[in-house]
Amino acid sequence: MTLLSVQNLIKYYATQKAVDDISFDISKGSIFGLLGPNGAGKSTLLRMITGIFYQDSGKILLNGEILDAEKHTSKMGYMPEERGLYKKMKIGEQAIYLAQLKGLSKKEAIERSKDWFRRLDMVTWWDKKVEDLSKGMSQKLQFVITVIHQPELLILDEPFSGLDPVNANVLKEEIFRLAQEGTTIIFSTHRMEQVEEICDQIALINLGKKVLDGKVAQIKQDFKGNMFSLEMENIFVTPPEGIDILKQEGNHLLFHLKENATSNAVLQYYLNQGNQIHSFKEILPTLNEIFIRQVQGTKDSREFLS
């Protein structure tokens, strides 16, 4: 079931198209990664989904309804790239205030704040001011504020930026858990490892346009180069016809499978020789490689005409 549908979105900044005809659908309960280089238009796109910005043309549908920022605000949670909080306000109080702004009653807000603080090990910091927190702590706080009202759709703009490995892991676990509980999550990033680990679906944006879109496994399949890795006893025998050898080292043979050949036939060939096979697998490109390949050769930064 599609939770969020983005259709032909266009947004101009001055005369430049920051978002140029982008469409995609996100299914409920899935984790969606929005990838792209700096200046690609990710933040703008996310802000339109949140309702902070208005698109110049195109539609955004939430649960089949046209997105109405005021009506749907309680269903969405947004964590901007630049973390923002009232520096001099005590964090417990601040969490309650912001939760109430999202529509929770005071009682609920207090209850849930305390709950989350307990879960993320922040209880002793309840009365501290934001300016007294460590970075990791303030990012945890930012996260709490984003999810406290149990939104259906979670929008995270570069959530892992600046996090140390421990806290990045905590965040990753929370995202997983929330997705399992039914929350749909969309986040933007350029950290590919995270994407491969967590995302079901991704879209790659460059210069405001959508370049790639689909399930992670599918994309990797689409971009595979028919590369295989074979570990066997003796790799220096004559290869079969259907392969181009890319690398030979020790027991390891790296080759490219030609058009009409099948991997099974190749394996059969070596088996028939009585060669001892240790391992045989297809090498799929990493998202990182796909990303670089797609984006390379295009300008990284935006030129504003003014």
Partner 1 sequence: MKTLLIIKREYLTRVRKRSFIIMTLLIPVIFIGMSFLIGYLAVGSTSKKTVVVNDQSSLFKNKLENKNNLIFVFENATSQELKQAVKDDQYDGFLSIPDFDKDAKVKFELYSKDQLGIETENDISDQLNHVLVEERMKTAGLSTSDLEKIQKNTISLKSINDKGEEGNAISSYAIGYGSGMVLYFFMLFYGMSVMRSVMEEKTNRIAEIIVSSVKPFQLMLGKIIGVALVGLTQFLIWIAFILILGTAFLGTMHFSGDTINAANTANTPDLMGGFNILMASTNWISIGLWFLFYFLGGYFLYAALYAAVGSLVNEDAQESQQFTLPITAPIIIGFVLMTSAIRDPNSGLAIFGSLFPLTSPIVMMARIPFGVPAWQLATSAILLVLGFVLTTLLAAKIYRTGILMYGKKITFKEIGKWLFIKKR
Residue of 73, 263, 273, 294 interacting with partner 1 (CB under 8 A): 73
Both tokens of residue 1? 């079931």
Tokens of 245: 């050898």
- Distance from C-alpha of 120 to C-alpha of 161, rounded to nearest angstrom: 19
**Strands of the 243-249 sheet, one edge to the other:** 243-249, 252-257, 227-232, 277-283
If we measure between CA atoms, which residue out of 196, 197, 175 comes closest to residue 186?
A: 175
Q: Is 140 in the site for partner 1 (CB under 8 A)?
A: no
- Classify the phi-psi angles of 304: left when phi > 0, otherwise alpha if psi is within -120 to 50, otherwise beta: beta
SS3 readout for 133-163? CCHHHHHHHHHHHHHCCCCCEEEEECCCCCC
- Shortest CB 100 distance to partner 1, Å: 6
Asked whether the beta carbons of 157 and 84 are under 8 A apart, the reply is: no
- Residue 97 sits in the site that holds partner 1 (CB under 8 A): yes
- Does 12 bind partner 1 (CB under 8 A)? Our answer is no
Q: 39 or 239: whose CB is closer to partner 1?
A: 39
> What does the block give as tokens for 204?
């790659």
Please tell me the count of residues contacting partner 1 according to CB under 8 A: 26
Piece of the chain touching partner 1 by CB under 8 A; list 4-12, 95-103, 219-227, 291-299: 95-103
- Of 3, 18, 33, 78, which lies in the binding site for partner 1, with binding defined by CB under 8 A? 78
The Cα 6–Cα 203 span in angstroms is 12
Closer to partner 1 by CB, 83 or 128: give it: 83
At closest approach, how far in Å is the CB of 156 from partner 1? Answer: 12
Binding test (CB under 8 A) with partner 1, winner from 15, 64, 82, 264: 82
Interface with partner 1 includes 161 (CB under 8 A)?
no
CB 5 to partner 1: min, Å = 18
Binding segment (CB under 8 A) for partner 1, from list 101-109, 180-188, 234-242, 294-302: 101-109
Closer Cβ to partner 1, 72 or 220, answer by number: 72
Instruction: Burial-class residue 170 by CB neighbours within 10 Å (0-12, 13-18, 19+).
Output: middle
Q: Among residues 71 and 247, whose Cβ is nearest to partner 1?
A: 71
Residue number with CB closer to partner 1 (67 or 243):
67
Q: Is 89 in the site for partner 1 (CB under 8 A)?
A: yes
Least CB distance to partner 1 at residue 149 (A)? 9
Nearest to 244 by CA among 232, 231, 261: 261
Stretch that binds partner 1, among 67-75, 171-179, 250-258, 259-267 (CB under 8 A): 67-75
Q: Cβ(184)–Cβ(153) under 8 Å?
A: yes
In the shown chain, the binding pattern of residues 33 to 52 toward partner 1, with x for contact by CB under 8 A and - for none, equals --------------x--xxx
Q: 50 — phi, psi (to 5°)?
A: -70, -25
| Cα–Cα distance measured from residue 51 to residue 163, given in angstroms and rounded to the nearest whole number | 27
Tell me: does residue 18 bind partner 1 (CB under 8 A): no
Structure tokens belonging to residue 227 = 């590369």
Among 17, 75, 83, 302, binds partner 1 (CB under 8 A): 83
Residues in the chain: 306
Exactly one of 70, 249, 259, 303 binds partner 1 (CB under 8 A); which one? 70
In the complex, the residues that contact partner 1 under the rule CB under 8 A are 47, 50-54, 69-70, 73, 76, 78, 80, 82-87, 89, 97-98, 100-103, 145
